[in-house]
Amino acid sequence: MRNIFAQQPSNQTDVYEKQKQKYWLHLLLFVITFFTTTVAGYEWVRGFSNQMEFTELIYGIPYSLSILFVLGSHEFGHYFAAKIHKVRATLPFFIPFPAIMGFLNFGTLGAVIKIKSPIPTKKALFDIGVAGPIAGFIASVILIIYGFTHLPGREYLLQIHPDYDLPTYGKNGLALVFGDSLLFSFLREVFTSSKDFIPPMSEIYHYPYLCVGWFGFFVTAMNLIPVGQLDGGHIIYALFGEKKQYTISSIAMIFLIVFGVTGVIISYFGIPLNIGWSGWLFWAVILFFVIKVKHPPIFDDTPLDIRRKIIGYLTILLFIVCFIPAPFLIF
């Protein structure tokens, strides 16, 4: 969900013509992503099945609409901020990810916009970088609050797992457990009561609004990692400048590698600790070779105003409360 920077073409008419010709591509990718996320939503909610009827896809629509809402909010946050600063940007490209037999996935690899002209100032860089995570975060909070205030009873889970209340449940198979972030657990405490049946994190993916809200927090944290051209990299660069951004980015990479290696060790030796995930190691490789550690220079030394600095510091706090050292655990 990073922004892809490109140099401004000399012929502006050609730019607009090319963008008009690609409207069909945005729509096509959106439709395909709607289908793949609907299939993924069915599998998350109802469980993986080789005999799914087409009419049963209706069970995946709440998940699909929710995840498109979160991803769309994030990318349109970037898009409208770019428009305000007269920086040309494409509409979001949604990236579908088809269901693979025996492999549960979110049905999408996210969405991106492409910046078509240089970003002229740190102020514009900050606004474009911060608008996406904030918009996606707000959308995720809405879904989580709705999910926790509209929890179905225990019978909902028993329809999916009839043996859920039996002592043998989960004994003969692997369990996927979503990691708990500080903010997700806080919202659970605030918006549920002792009278509610509160699903454990090992079953949260059967609840589409909670599942997508959790995913939204996870994506927000991933994008706010202060590395290169990630949203977090834009924000840190605009706040602290080139040298400090590179230092902070390097430290963040070290932490990612440590969490990733720890996850590999824990997984290999079966150590019951919730402090690492092997996926962070893969993400560190992507960041290092594709997104890069150092942010490209913006030739503007004007410091941010106090309002933007406060928003920037709050966004750093947002990263902390949404980050999950071990987002996925398999037992």
- pLDDT for the residue 95: 96
The tens digit of pLDDT for each residue in 68-82 reads 999 999 999 999 999
CA distance 254 to 281: 10
Structural contact between residues 235 and 129, judged by C-beta atoms closer than 8 angstroms: yes
The tens digit of pLDDT for each residue in 107-135 reads 999 999 999 999 999 999 999 999 999 99
- pLDDT for the residue 22: 80
Structural domain includes residue 88: yes
- The arithmetic mean of pLDDT across residues 55-76, rounded, is 95
pLDDT-derived band at 173, boundaries 50, 70, 90: confident
Structural domain includes residue 2: no
Q: What is the domain extent for residue 48?
A: 12-330
- The arithmetic mean of pLDDT across residues 306-320, rounded, is 98
Structural domain includes residue 294: yes
Question: Exposure pattern of 317-329 as b/e (b: 16+ CB <10 Å)?
Answer: ebbeebbbbbbeb
Structural domain includes residue 6: no
Cα dihedral sign, 241-246-250-253: positive
pLDDT-derived band at 1, boundaries 50, 70, 90: very low
Half-sphere exposure of 98 (CA within 13 A, CB side): 3
- pLDDT for the residue 10: 41
Structural domain includes residue 320: yes
Split into its structural domains, the chain has a count of 1
- pLDDT for the residue 45: 87
Lowest pLDDT segment from 20-24, 89-93, 195-199, 312-316: 20-24
Structural domain includes residue 261: yes
- pLDDT for the residue 55: 81
CA distance 79 to 57: 31
Q: Name the maximum alpha-carbon separation found in the chain.
A: 69
Structural domain includes residue 3: no
Structural domain includes residue 7: no
